[in-house]
Structure 1
Amino acid sequence: MNDRIALLYAQHLATVRAHADQALALAGFDHLLIAAGTPLRKFLDDQDYPFVANPHFRHWLPLADVPGSWIAYAPGRKPTLIFVQPSDYWHVVPEAPSGYWVEHFDIVVVRNVSEAVAHLPRGRCAVIAPACPTIDGVTVNNPQAVIDCLHWQRSFKTPYELERMRDASRIGTRAHAAAEAAFRAGESEFGIHMAYLAAARQTDAELPYTSIVGLNQHGAVLHYMHLDRTPPAEHRSFLIDAGASSAGYASDITRTYAASGHGEFQALIDSMDAAQRGFVAKVRAGQNYADLHIHAHHVLADILREHGLIRMTAEGAVESGVTSAFFPHGLGHSIGLQVHDVAGFQRDENGGSIARPEGHPYLRMTRVLEPGMVVTIEPGLYFIDMLLQELKDKPFASDIDWARVDAFRPYGGIRIEDDVVCTESAPENLTRDAFALTD
């Protein structure tokens, strides 16, 4: 496995270098300088927020916790890692670089950020770093032409990146299984979350995003992160949206469960699961992602009618905005080094933007799918009081069975999410494949 990762990484880095060459030539720069970044200090405090390395830095090498370090690259030359290893007894000092990637870099070890900056080349440099006027004399310019080109190329994952994302999916599904078991055992949201972390063997700060762990009606809060410490009087439903990290790459997985004895909600979950699998099957080259999102709304309308929630045609439910009240977010997004990865709206390598469909402001991707892209497919069906109240004032309110809606409100909602690779043929479902290994 290690030999295979080493080979895949070498190929990946060659691809990254080629894309950097292209971006620098396009924008007229001689050097690419990428800062890992430094932690953000808490206001009026001497502590920092958890450090998250610049994703451009993590694209080049699998280091996530090396604040102050830099990558310096010029076409035709071996990239240099300027590695900050401070003299410090207050914190854990990063270990000396080692592993399958080190032979591909010239490595300079320094003791502080100022020494790191002193080793950077000067001249016509594209400097990609968190926005600030200067870093000890280095001007951060984040040139848009370079960013656009690099972001466009990041849309297409290398075999190395896909292997890392498979690993992140395996970690995530293992932890999801532990979370479901904790739900079945009657744990609180906090207890379920602790079970998830233990199974993932990752801390909150190491996860790619803050986990959503919602019991019962809390499943209707799209970004619910409160974590009640006390179990509810009755466990009816459980929605968990949680991922894991592997060498800087993310998984993003959502599952919804019904407690034993809640058959009608389980039937609704089953219908959504079947629909979600159908959407996954359409993750193929040439598929317009925005069109797939609109298709999902028509399928959701059929589910709402099948389960007695509405008495409208699919076309009427979509055009009137009824489906948007039950499914207010987008079908998904690009994923990779970032959970909501870059270039979801980008027109081409020179930038530009592809608009969202009218009436769907929260869709996070409008591209046409191509081989190598990885996207999430995460349809939802929620019973959100605020949005449902707005429907009651509409002329078509009588076409909604409000008693049926009220019966489902205590369950919150449903979301089912997989990470899916667009290939030359059938899609690769990273999430379902990983769950199969867990089972």
Structure 2
Amino acid sequence: MDSLEITIRTTGGVAKYPAKAHARRVAEKTGLSEGIIGMQGTNTRFFSNSDQPQPFRQDRYFYYMSGCDEPSCFLVYDIGKDILTLYLPPVDYTRFYYDGRGSTIDEAMEKYDIDRAAYQVSARTWWSFQKKFVLPGTKVLAADGPSVDDILRRALDACRSVKDADEIELIRKANQISSIAHKDVLLQLHNCKSEAEAEAIYMRTCIARRAKAQAYGPIFGAGSNASQLHYIENVASFGDSQLLLVDAGCEWQRYASDVTRTIPINRKNPGEWPSKEAKQVYDAVEEIQEKCIKLMRVGTKFSFVALTAQHLAVDALLSLGILKGTHDEIWKAETNRAFFPHGLGHHLGLEVHDVSPPLRLLSQEQERKESQKQERWWRRQQRKQQKHEFIPPFDWGDHGRPYHARRRRTNLLTHISVPGEPAMEEGNVITIEPGLYFNEVVLRKFFLSKDKQRKHIDADVLKRFMPVGGVRIEDDILITSEGPVNLTTAPKGKEMLEILRKQG
């Protein structure tokens, strides 16, 4: 066996990312008392046909178990001995002038919550290390590559979906910076004439506060651009746009925020809605979000909240006169997909679309029975709701419209309502982001061109709402035993309008 230089950790030092606690949690979730967990981090990569490196982004599973944000590392956690070892690449002295260097062993022991550190010698990768140094017969779990089964991934997802106190503070900090940046856009919007200028204000605030990394490509969509969910060009002039949709969230120490605000553009009367239709759509989306946030409680399934949002959207579109017919007819035809085409939210953490807790494993017979039970319950509730308000109590229990994991024919609007879906629990952080959109191409090509859909859409009323473009409002919600906690403080609603009035 090739020799490895190893240093044993001493106590003390500065506060560190709790990698060892995470490793123990993951090991406990595997149900194993002995064995080895191995993970390889991300290597440095170059763009195709170029000498320019791609921006480095550490594998998030690896980071969760190591707290290490350096390239070309791998880790080994011995479950039985409770020893977490980080393997560092050899120091390349020829690159000092260009790239600096990675951590030495002593520096790694100071920075990371690990038990041992070692340089990679001939063990250049985790897989070659496994062949060379892991005893035959030892149970090995790996997050990627030829692992024995999916035990480790399920354990990692179960742990990552429930944030500890350190993770919550990092997400809160990311939200704080993003919220300040969103507010700065409001404060200076009167000086802006384009999406690019507004984005520059947001980015300047984030970078000045040392949050240079964005959790995703910022979206600054004015007018019809707001109807494109992942619009990222951010270069158009405001022109006669009524609204600016801003979907942007920074990272703080690898943890994401995800914040969306929709802002009225009104140069003559700042802080006032440019049209009655813009106000009506905004008010509808705001009401949907407020009602859904109240439902974000321990023991409730998120799919039920997502389902409620879709029914509230149907009610809102009927109230606005955009849709016509009965609630049940529209729901069956799925016409509301024209205006609310996405899910209500997602988990948030080391990824902006973070991992979800693993599903309970059900047999086909269990899945069939659960689906039938949910369908019967849902139909009973529909009959009781004469006004179709669809505001469920907090004790919905194990009910909800079925959405099968095997992608059978079903109503896609329920987002994640799958048999085996676990209920929300304390420590989950989940976004709530309802929206209503008026995308001319989508409406014309996929809805107004089909009799099944067209008969439920009032084309004359719709024409008045098309200039609105789109409205989305998004906050990051922490699930606690005391109820939902909104981590996002970016101004919205009346507070947003008041800021715009004062600056105008």
Q: How high is the TM-score relative to the length of structure 2?
A: 0.74
The number of residue pairs the alignment matches comes to: 420
Q: Does 1:60 align with 2:116?
A: no
Q: Does 1:374 align with 2:467?
A: no
| Identity fraction in percent | 24
- Determine the structure 2 residue equivalent to 1:136: none
Give distance in 2, aligned partners of 1:364 and 1:47.
40
Give distance in 2, aligned partners of 1:294 and 1:116.
44
> Which digits, 9 at most, give the CA deviation of each residue in 1:293-332, with x for residues without a partner?
1211111112112223223333332222121110011111
Larger Rg: 2
Deviation at 1:204, TM superposition (A): 9.8
Q: 1:414 aligns with which of 471, 480, 483?
A: 471
Aligned residue runs from structure 1 range 113-128, under 5 A: 114=124, 121-123=133-135, 124=138, 125-128=140-143
* SS of residue paired to 1:256: strand
- Determine the structure 2 residue equivalent to 1:83: 88
Distance 1:344 1:72, change over 3 A: closer
Give distance in 1, aligned partners of 2:53 and 2:217.
18
Deviation at 1:21, TM superposition (A): 4.6
Deviation at 1:191, TM superposition (A): 2.0
* SS of residue paired to 1:56: helix
Q: 2:291 aligns with which of 272, 278, 284?
A: 278
Letter in 2 for 1:19: V
Contact 2:23–2:77 (8 Å) recurs in 1: no
- Determine the structure 2 residue equivalent to 1:288: 301
* SS of residue paired to 1:271: helix
| Structure 2 unmatched runs, 5+ | 1-11, 267-272, 368-402, 500-504
Q: 1:25 aligns with which of 28, 32, 40?
A: 32
Give distance in 1, aligned partners of 2:317 and 2:483.
29
Q: Does 1:402 align with 2:459?
A: yes
Letter in 2 for 1:416: I
Deviation at 1:391, TM superposition (A): 2.5
- Determine the structure 2 residue equivalent to 1:146: 152
Letter in 1 for 2:249: G
Letter in 2 for 1:82: Y
Give distance in 2, aligned partners of 1:435 and 1:303.
20
- Determine the structure 1 residue equivalent to 2:410: 358
RMSD of equivalent CA atoms? 3.5
Contact 2:261–2:492 (8 Å) recurs in 1: no
Letter in 2 for 1:108: A
Distance 1:300 1:361, change over 3 A: closer
Contact 2:433–2:475 (8 Å) recurs in 1: yes
Give distance in 1, aligned partners of 2:457 and 2:62.
51
Q: 1:219 aligns with which of 209, 212, 226?
A: 226
| Structure 1 unmatched runs, 5+ | 132-139
Give distance in 1, aligned partners of 2:186 and 2:20.
38
Contact 1:172–1:251 (8 Å) recurs in 2: yes
Give distance in 2, aligned partners of 1:334 and 1:197.
24
> Which digits, 9 at most, give the CA deviation of each residue in 1:124-159, with x for residues without a partner?
433334x5xxxxxxxx53842211222122221111
Letter in 1 for 2:242: R
Give distance in 2, aligned partners of 1:273 and 1:13.
41
Give distance in 2, aligned partners of 1:174 and 1:86.
41
- Determine the structure 2 residue equivalent to 1:6: 15
- Determine the structure 2 residue equivalent to 1:391: 447
Give distance in 1, aligned partners of 2:26 and 2:175.
27
Q: Does 1:50 align with 2:55?
A: yes
* SS of residue paired to 1:427: strand
- Determine the structure 2 residue equivalent to 1:313: 326
Contact 1:322–1:391 (8 Å) recurs in 2: yes
Contact 2:195–2:221 (8 Å) recurs in 1: yes
Give distance in 1, aligned partners of 2:417 and 2:349.
14
Q: 2:316 aligns with which of 290, 303, 309?
A: 303
- Determine the structure 2 residue equivalent to 1:170: 176
- Determine the structure 1 residue equivalent to 2:186: 180
Q: Does 1:74 align with 2:83?
A: no
Contact 1:34–1:128 (8 Å) recurs in 2: yes
Give distance in 1, aligned partners of 2:297 and 2:470.
28
Q: Does 1:428 align with 2:441?
A: no
Further displaced range: 32-41 or 248-257: 32-41
